[in-house]
Amino acid sequence: MDKKSAGYLEGFISISTNLVLFVLKIWAGVVSNSVALIADAWHSLSDSLSSIVVIIGSKLAAKKPDKEHPFGHGRWELIAAILIGFILAVIAYDILVDSIQKLTDQKSADFGIVAIVVIIASIVINEGLTQYAFYLGRKTDSMTVKADAWHHRTDAISSVVVLIGIFLNNYFWWIDSILGIIIALMIFYVVYDIIMKAANKLLGEKPSAELIEKIESIISDHSSSDIQPHHYHFHNYVNHKELTFHIKLDQKMYIMEGHALATKIEDSIFDKFNIHTTIHIEPLSVKHRFD
């Protein structure tokens, strides 16, 4: 299954499931006069909104490279993940404001059996969606699907928090408002994590120490001499990855020999990591201005 298909499948399942959960939670929240339960309902609706973003992002990211975008459109996946983060942030802010207002007004909730059944069903369903989305995300390496999986996980966790509040409500009148605040803060944390991961890829990442170590191992396999790889640059376009770096060779080496060595290294990196590599060759005696 490719990223586009995974995004469509996960998105449509999430939308249909969370729309049902939204209706059930809103109904239970209104009946119970619970800000935490209503907040949890809007969290479920935001799952549907973010899943729409997942579907659109997956469709855009799957577009083939063209003249204007020779490296493809994979970064739409990162932009979609950031949009999911902003949707979550708006929901979290509204929950926080409502919870603080209810705490100020000293209002408590009145939970019944309906609220308990709806919340338990929500926990089970959302954790199931989480596991399925993580499975698809690992299988296709789709950042958007993984981001949506975390959205499902926060919904499941927030429902667990609400369930705890239901059983403590008779002892602490303020528990519903406090739980609403906790849910909002949990969502803000997930927002930070999703946006920072996507933004780092958009801004440009430095290759990991682990990747450099593996690349230098490949270089050693192709040359017995010290060719001093350096000046690594990594460009992540999601569906297409580019790596550039320099190697120093004996200045007495023929051009064809240096070209053949660089090509072998580039081919090995592509075969092992699916990364397109460009190697710049320098004489050992020359110092690069950026070294």
- Beta strands 276-283 and 241-249 are parallel
Confidence tier at 290 by pLDDT (50, 70, 90): low
Residue 228, Ramachandran bin (φ over 0: left; ψ between -120 and 50: alpha; else beta): left
Distances, alpha carbon 265 to alpha carbons 94, 216, 227, 242, in Å: 53, 10, 12, 14
Mean pLDDT, residues 159-186: 80
- At 199 the pLDDT is 81
Which tens digit of pLDDT belongs to each residue from 256-268? 988 888 899 999 9
Say which residue the tokens 């939670």 belong to.
25
- How far, in whole angstroms, is CA 50 from its chain's centroid? 12
CA–CA dist 109, 173 (Å, integer)? 8
Q: Are residues 74 and 197 located together in one domain of the fold? A: yes
152 and 252, same domain (yes or no)? no
Structure tokens belonging to residue 278: 């460009």
% of the chain at pLDDT higher than 70: 86
Residue 291 lies in a domain: no
In a domain, 117, yes or no: yes
Question: Are both 30 and 100 inside the same structural domain?
Answer: yes
**217 shares a domain with 173:** no
184 and 138, same domain (yes or no):
yes
Bigger pLDDT: 57 vs 234: 234
Query: Number of folded domains in the chain?
Result: 2
pLDDT at 239: 67
Tell me: pLDDT of 28 over 70.
Answer: yes
Per-residue pLDDT, 1 = 64
Residue 132 lies in a domain: yes
pLDDT of residue 71: 66
Expressed as residue numbers, the domain containing 147 is 3-203
Mean pLDDT of 164-179: 79
Shared-domain flag, residues 196 and 255: no
Please check whether residues 152 and 233 belong to one and the same domain.
no
Determine the pLDDT at residue 130: 86
pLDDT at 288 over 70: no
Query: How much is the pLDDT for 142?
Result: 74
pTM of the model: 0.61
Average pLDDT, whole number, for the chain? 79
Task: Report d(CA 208, CA 234) in Å as an integer.
Answer: 9
Same domain, 187 and 45: yes
Average pLDDT over residues 227-233: 83
Q: Return the ∠ at Cα 185 (arms to 82 and 148), rounded to 5°.
A: 35
Judgement on whether residues 97 and 226 belong to the same structural domain of the protein: no
**pLDDT at res. 218:** 87
- Among 203, 232, 249, give the residue marking a domain's end: 203
C-beta atoms surrounding 2 within 10 Å: 13
- pLDDT > 80? residue 245: yes
Alpha-carbon gap, residue 54 to 263, rounded angstroms: 38
Domain end point (choices 203, 224, 244): 203
